[in-house]
Chains A and B, each alone.
Chain A
Amino acid sequence: MVEREILHVNTDDFYASVLRLRDPALRKRAVVVVGAAPRGMVFSASYEAREDGVTRGMTASAARRLSSRATFLPPDWGLFRRASSAIFGVLRRYSPVVESASLDEGYVDYTGCSRLFGPALDAGRMIKDEIARETGLAVSLGVASNKLVSHVASRSAKCANLVDVYAGYERSFVAPVPVARFPLVGEKRAPALCELGVARVGDVLLFTEEIFAFCFGSWGRRLYRGALGEDTAPVRTRPEIDERFTVEEILEPDRVEYRFLEGVLYRLAERLGEKLRAERSLAGAVGLEVRYADGMAAKGMGRPGTQEAGSAGGAEAPASDDFSIYEAAREIFARAYARRVRVRSLVLSAGRITPAPLQLELFAGDREAAVERRGKLYAALDRLRSAYPGRAAPAFGRALA
């Protein structure tokens, strides 16, 4: 079996660094990215601000007390997304299999690519140089035989280093890592492990896998496998999101009601559909990002299904109609909205963009006739919405939540 070679690429201090590119006067100064006042929470803190004790998820007022020298800025999501897409553009030159874990980090399946670009250590240098040249950002890289260990490696590679863990030594490498810093655990689950006397990842192996599975279910089993340095998860390529087709709604105030959020989702689907139709484009993929009030985010991707007239389901095909986009978004939302935490904003985006066909079928059947009717309906709706913008525009009931 071919030994896998996975690179985890992590941008150093991404949010602060991107804001520093916009305003070089912020260089070497403490920067804290916070949501809108007065409920603003710290979304990201630069290394300098972290030295003062500022951490992600704390309130802006607490952060101001801790770090009076810091500059507090609102997030510029458009800028963050552009920087992220430039980074992933570089990564895709080195392997066709690239997974975006968040805006600032991702995995590259480098297996077999060393024939083209040399060993991962050398490719890492080239990746770092290209990202620095094209975006001005610094990255750290971890190389290992699986995603989990490469993630731990890139964390220990901070800043602007590369850590290559040789195959067969994954277990030795993760053993001394404190459980709170292990990707599968995090700070919330660490106390439960500490009660068992598990302070470091290697301590997990003092128990049996069955005990961990009994205590913590499937997560316990995953953690046990992780402590052995094993992770079979593949690097999944997600469709590339087109920056032109991204819509966001920031909630004032933060909301938690599921039905209300579904209504917001429908409004976003309407806006995204309108953008796609204005550009005569179809989306083959829909992405949704749920941003929580505590700074955490969850995201997912799905495929829109073209809704047949009078039927509940439909074939998966590129689409630009509101219902198809909404149905895909709602499915992603059901998966992504797993925490009972207030939501700050929802971001809906489209990917795998293809041009909408201009030519209609010569011998149109029922399906084509339905598509044509729906096209006319949306064209009329778009005209009305542009004539009566905002809440005065005609809308479906579910969008009025």
Chain B
Amino acid sequence: MQLSYFRRVAAGGAVAALTFAGAGALTATPAYAATSKVSVVHGIPDTPVDVYVNGEKTLDNFKPGDVAGPLTLEEGAYDIALTKPGAPVADAILTVDDAAVPGGANISIAAHLDAAGKPKITPFVNDTTKVDAGKARLVVRHTAAAPAVDVRAGGTPVFEDLTNPNEAKGDVDAGAVKADVVLAGTDTVAIGPADLDLNEGTATIVYAIGSAEAKNLGVVAQTITGLHSAPAGVPSGDGGLAGTGVDAWWYVLAGAGVLLLVGGGARVATTRTGRR
């Protein structure tokens, strides 16, 4: 099953379409296997690659700064290999065997540099819980060959002492914010500043990539949409002019009516009985 998926995405032209029709029926969210959404993020500067998954070429000439996916993958273990474009998988420049993909998750697999500047692959689990109405989620991932950093929004540190390969996140008011990345505890700007437009109901995931030493630090961004919630309510009137409820006095009137009827009826009945 896993292999058939990748054959499908790797193949080209008419063959792909045919394989797809066949495999699609089998892989379309089967009830017996949990699936995950998987994106791939390229954060290694100057190094386009082919991406092999379980030995099958999945991405051809995948460029730095690109984001691929999301793919729907069944849970399981996957072998990932990166090669120079066109090079055989045996000459991979980076491999990860048995990368675990859990079921029912949203995952980003980042190819990036570690703190020392060596290429590596790190999987991140994306938080796809709903954000409150009016909010946006900001996630920052340190995937650069650089020391600990602070992330500032409008000049104020919002995430502090973030190190490779970790993330910091928070739900903030949706809208534009000017953000930059500084060396932790300093005002030395490493990346930015950049205008971030955080759209309501989305998660914006920003990867700091590149190398401080090579002076090619930068960012790659990935967006997850559809995390919005409805407002808590729509309060739209406090005058009472349009109230459709029945005022209490009408109940009093109805009650009086019932009493009069019953009382009058009883009187009539007793009078008649008395005459007999």
A is bound by B: no
